[in-house]
Amino acid sequence: MIHRLLDSVWGQATNLLTAPIRHKRWIDLLVLAAMGSTLAALWYVGLEWTAVQRHTVEISLSAWALPKYLLLSLIRAIAAYALSLTFTLVVAYWAAKDPVAERILVPILDILQSVPLLAFLPPVLLVMLTLFPRSNVGLELSAVLLIVTCQAWNMAFSFYQSLKALPKDLEETAALYGFSWLQKLRLVELPFATPGLVWNSMVSVANSWFFLMSAEAFKAGDKNFQLPGVGSYMNAAVEQGNGRAQVYAILTMLALVVLLDQLVWRPVVAWSQRFQVDEGAEVEPEVNWLLRFLRRSRLLRWLEARRNHRLHLRRPRPALLKRAEEGITRPGRLAPWFAGSALLVVIGLLALGGLSVVRLLVDVRPAQWLHLLKAGGASLSRVLLSTFLATLWTLPVGLWIGMSPKWSRRLQSVVQVAASFPSSLIFASLILVFQGLGIGLGVSCVLLMVLSTQWYLLFNIIAGAQAIPMELREASRAFRLSLWRRCWSLYFPAVFPFLVTGWVTATGGAWNASIVTEIVTAKHQTLRTLGLGAEVVLATDRGSMPDLAASALLMAGLVVLFNRLVWGPLYKLAETRYAMNR
């Protein structure tokens, strides 16, 4: 009954937006108002960033302060996403195209995605505060870069996997037309990778909301580097046990998630559907109300016409264009030299960082190493168990959503909203509820990790299911295979490359989630369990750099060992046996 009522109300609202209107000036006025509001918001944020650095920031728990805090947090997330996307396009492409770089960069990405966010805090803060000692720019950039560390790796692995799994017919088409590397990237590789990159962008942005409290209210020793934002607001509310303020923060984030879904992700998903490779696939075109609304703006149409006119005037003559294409058929002679130099710079920076870490590790006692090994084993078991539990439900549900156009359209918003909601905001409350039920923190950690890892798997599986060629689905139906036979012979092998990417990113997210699940402060009491995440938080609070370096190094070592023994062979299996381009 409620579902029908909501459908009726939403249908009437969309009819109002799509009905013929004689006077469209109000649409242009709304577009101008949106542009003006965006410029005003950027101006206000610029003033906050360039203000004189304050030693202490008082966080108001008033509901009227939340809009300002929400704007500041949103700008940080947008800036972090822009940096993450740039990093993805450069580093993932480099790793996919250069075998030497691939052997170096992919293990580095594996390590970096598992290093806890707080381990990046001291070096990032040191550099930023040295560059900007008096203004807030250093602290703001530190928060942005910390958010990048929980966004970039998932997107980079998605783009890398798409480049490695490019179908052979697209490779042959690009070679047949003599595309240059730049034309192939722009016309073939980026369009093919767009659907998966869009889904992983959603989960990366959702992950940034997950770690917002750690990025905006970080501490190092006795120094409190706090920035005004929704994350610091929620952190202050949890520490003071203010339930009303926590509800305000949760409702505010829920409203932001719904708005982003309607104003950003639904239009982007609708736009990305044009890049579906399988033209015979059963994909219903997404009709987005915002895109239809904006197309009716005469102002935007005029701006688009002006842009197209300028591009037409700048278009070179066919002879010059042909000559230019022949000149860039392949990267220049300096490209290998540049790539080699960049690799040397990366290796040099790693060597310097390694020397600094070695100097810190000298002060770590053998007893502390033994304790950290036990903590590492406990955290590893939780990471694997949470990934396994998340896979149990995301694999069938992801296949069902991805291969059903009707349910994909119905559940898309629900999945996006659920994934974007920062579950870390309610971790403290959930842990207190679990404690009341007699469930210890060691067990509740696993359940909370599932909340943070499941979306990596679900989005990758949905993207993989949508990429299954329609002719293979029809063939399985023609042979009248049972559901289990179709899953075992077609569906599971087809999504396996995407599933491996989901496993890698999910375990990295679980390692990062350990820093907010294995130790929690609520109502002036601290609950903790044995684990590396708790050790990282305690070392950061004490300002103990040797213990922090030892915890982060051990976590990275466990990830590298697991990558060599498990993820590496699975990646090779996905590329050689289950990729659609073979």
Distances (CA, A) of 363 to 14, 160, 223: 65, 39, 22
Q: Determine the average pLDDT of the residues in 548-575.
A: 81
On whether the CB atoms of residues 514 and 449 are closer than 8 A, the answer is: yes
Lowest mean pLDDT among 16-30, 393-407, 449-463, 484-498: 16-30
* Cβ-based neighbours of 365, under 8 Å, separated by 6 or more: none
- What are the b/e assignments for 480-508, b being 16+ CB within 10 Å? eeeeeebbeebbebbbbbbbbbbbbbbbb
Q: Which amino acid is at 510?
A: A
Strand partners, 526: 521
241 against 514, higher pLDDT: 514
| Residue 49 banded pLDDT, cuts 50, 70, 90 | confident
Q: Where are the domains of the chain?
A: 46-288+367-576
On whether the CB atoms of residues 493 and 236 are closer than 8 A, the answer is: no
Supply φ then ψ for residue 217, to 5 degrees.
-130, 50
Lowest mean pLDDT among 11-20, 183-192, 381-390: 11-20
On whether the CB atoms of residues 391 and 457 are closer than 8 A, the answer is: yes
Helices (H), 362-440: 366-403, 405-420, 427-436
Q: Determine the average pLDDT of the residues in 249-269.
A: 83
pLDDT over 80 (residue 205): yes
308 against 545, higher pLDDT: 545
Alpha carbons 252 and 65: distance in angstroms, whole number: 11
**Length of the chain in residues, anyone?**
582
pLDDT over 90 (residue 202): no
Supply φ then ψ for residue 572, to 5 degrees.
-65, -40
285 against 157, higher pLDDT: 157
Distances (CA, A) of 455 to 15, 122, 200, 243, 492: 33, 29, 9, 28, 18
pLDDT value of residue 389: 93
Share of the chain above pLDDT 90, in %: 3
pLDDT in tens, 526-547: 778 888 888 888 887 777 778 8
| Residue 16 banded pLDDT, cuts 50, 70, 90 | very low
Instruction: Determine whether 207 is exposed, middle or buried from the number of CB atoms within 10 Å of its CB (0-12, 13-18, 19+).
Output: buried
Question: Dihedral of the CA atoms 163, 168, 171, 175 (nearest 10)?
Answer: 160
* Cβ-based neighbours of 385, under 8 Å, separated by 6 or more: 446
CA triple 487-275-408, angle to 5 deg: 45
Alpha carbons 332 and 342: distance in angstroms, whole number: 16
Q: Determine the average pLDDT of the residues in 392-409.
A: 82
339 against 560, higher pLDDT: 560
Strand partners, 226: 217
User: What average pLDDT does the chain have?
Assistant: 75
Q: Among residues 333, 356, 352, 350, which one has the least CA distance to residue 104?
A: 350
CATH level 3 topology of 46-288+367-576: MetI-like fold (1.10.3720)
pLDDT over 60 (residue 311): no
564 against 578, higher pLDDT: 564
pLDDT over 50 (residue 37): yes
**Reported pTM:** 0.71
pLDDT in tens, 51-91: 777 766 778 888 888 888 888 888 888 899 999 999 999 88
pLDDT in tens, 330-350: 455 555 666 666 667 766 766
pLDDT in tens, 350-379: 666 667 767 777 778 888 889 889 988 898
CA triple 315-317-321, angle to 5 deg: 85
pLDDT in tens, 211-246: 777 778 776 555 667 788 888 888 788 777 787 888
